[in-house]
Structure 1
């Protein structure tokens, strides 16, 4: 079962790491491996959410998502998107960005370094919004109970997460960004650039969240209409013709999944910039991670249950929060890849171990091992 489900992911991992070592030596191998582990860790929630929705779809639409969806996730978000970010922020075309990365690495590195403040501000604010909206939500399961209960109460204030994020952006623009690091060791004032890019990151998050909410609402309306149609048909003694409405509902499920998948992919790509600016290392590492999202989703759907590690979602979001802060700090100071990558993995590992201990305590108390809920 494991080999059948994860076989392609294992194969892509071996090929990707071997390619990284062959082309760039141990440094490339290490960074690609860190990116792969980080993306896999952050993508666990993605797989859980995908599985919870995917199991409600027909076999046909499951296959559509697991084929077309993975192509969009791997080749669209993980391969094309990093190039697009560099092209836009550095002011060059995508083909030119790839050519510079291949033929003129020194020039490319200089352009990316000088464009880093805008990349870091945009990505840092996007990731910060994901983290804040998680910790400010009411939830039944708490990992760090006292802190999370207080934050959940603060989250009852309308727009509180946006307010905190914008306050953080103003603080960053007025302090860290006034001495932004540039190529050659120079420091220049990038306050206006950081402020504009950060606002764009917040707006992008709100747009993605709005689209997800739209599809979720549409889905709920269709499911209610389907249930009403089935009930009406049963009352008059005939079988309801659900093929058409099921297809429409599945189509909106597919759209909703794509928006969710894109948002998870987006934070992975943005978070990768906290570790490296090398687009080929990024593409390899994130591509490996994307394959594991597919495999984990398939595994969870085929098993018919979700893993019972209740704090993994918390750990992933705390890792996102840590990455957001490190991205903003990196506008002025360079942070070692071992710190940026290792902290996220460490938080995931801590959440996993906490989940194992909690499950053992439940069993010892005579309870049963809990199942994971997507909402935490």
Structure 2
């Protein structure tokens, strides 16, 4: 990779991470405001380390290693900067499934934001689109079917990458949706939920946001160091 590609990749990842982290920061602030000082301090130190930094640090490396086990743990981390032809061949072989995996996830994430997320309307047509939220699942299902249809003509593994991306999206957002429903209980001043319950909730919600960032990053690059820099 040349220096311009590296800079653009890091900038793109950073922008994606900033945008996707805004909701996460708001949720954290709301729940932390209902917790005692000791629990709040524990989460800000250890909770963020576990759910954010470890997740974003280990998950991209684990994914690359999983699809290219022949590289080994160290090779998976440094593959993008290796000059070994065998390493390049391994990355070239695994890149379609990873790129399709991350790309499909990112497409689903965009349409979820477009149709389902609460937002302040600023552009013409946004309010109309938001009222069509019922069509979200139909639209992404059709998109997935089209992607898989054309991917199968190229290689079944690429189609499998698209299915993995959609599966990851619905699993992660299923957990997040359930967590958001629980948030109302956590913010209730009369709630008897302990600070430990609130910490566990924040761990889950932060982990889902971190996974969003990691999986979406594979639509930008397969380089683990660049993902770490961009998501960091």
TM-score bucket (shorter structure): 0.7 to 0.9
CA distance in 2, matches of 1:38, 1:162: 23
Q: Answer yes or no: is the 8 Å Cα contact 1:218–1:252 preserved in 2.
A: no
CA distance in 1, matches of 2:119, 2:80: 47
| Residue aligning to 2:7 | 30
CA distance in 2, matches of 1:120, 1:205: 15
| Residue aligning to 2:198 | 253
| Residue aligning to 2:149 | 174
Residues 19-58 of structure 1: pairs in structure 2 closer than 5 A? 26-27=3-4, 30-31=7-8, 33-34=10-11, 35-58=13-36
CA distance in 2, matches of 1:222, 1:213: 14
Q: Answer yes or no: is the 8 Å Cα contact 1:87–1:94 preserved in 2.
A: yes
Larger Rg: 1
Alignment TM-score, normalising by the size of structure 2: 0.80
Structure 1 residue matching 2:190: 3-state secondary structure = helix
Q: Answer yes or no: is the 8 Å Cα contact 2:179–2:205 preserved in 1.
A: no
CA separation of 1:96/1:140 partners in 2, compared to 1, >3 Å: closer, same or farther?
closer
Number of aligned residue pairs: 230
Alignment TM-score, normalising by the size of structure 1: 0.52
Q: CA deviation at 1:38?
A: 4.1
Q: CA deviation at 1:173?
A: 2.8
Q: CA deviation at 1:85?
A: 1.3
| Residue aligning to 1:194 | 158
Q: CA deviation at 1:122?
A: 2.0
Q: CA deviation at 1:86?
A: 0.8
| Residue aligning to 2:66 | 88
Q: 1:97-155 CA distances to partner (integer Å, 9 max, x unpaired)?
A: 23655665543333223222211222223222322222223747212242x23322321
* Structure 1: runs of 5+ lacking an equivalent: 1-23, 179-188, 229-244, 288-376
* Structure 2: runs of 5+ lacking an equivalent: none
CA separation of 1:57/1:141 partners in 2, compared to 1, >3 Å: closer, same or farther?
same
Structure 2 residue matching 1:167: 3-state secondary structure = helix
CA separation of 1:87/1:255 partners in 2, compared to 1, >3 Å: closer, same or farther?
same
Q: Answer yes or no: is the 8 Å Cα contact 1:212–1:256 preserved in 2.
A: no
CA RMSD, Structure 1 to Structure 2 (Å): 3.1
2:184 paired with 1:207? no
2:224 paired with 1:276? no
CA distance in 2, matches of 1:33, 1:267: 16
Q: Answer yes or no: is the 8 Å Cα contact 1:32–1:284 preserved in 2.
A: no
Structure 2 residue matching 1:43: 3-state secondary structure = helix
Q: Answer yes or no: is the 8 Å Cα contact 1:129–1:161 preserved in 2.
A: no
Q: Higher relative contact order by CA 8 Å / sep ≥ 6: 1 or 2?
A: 2
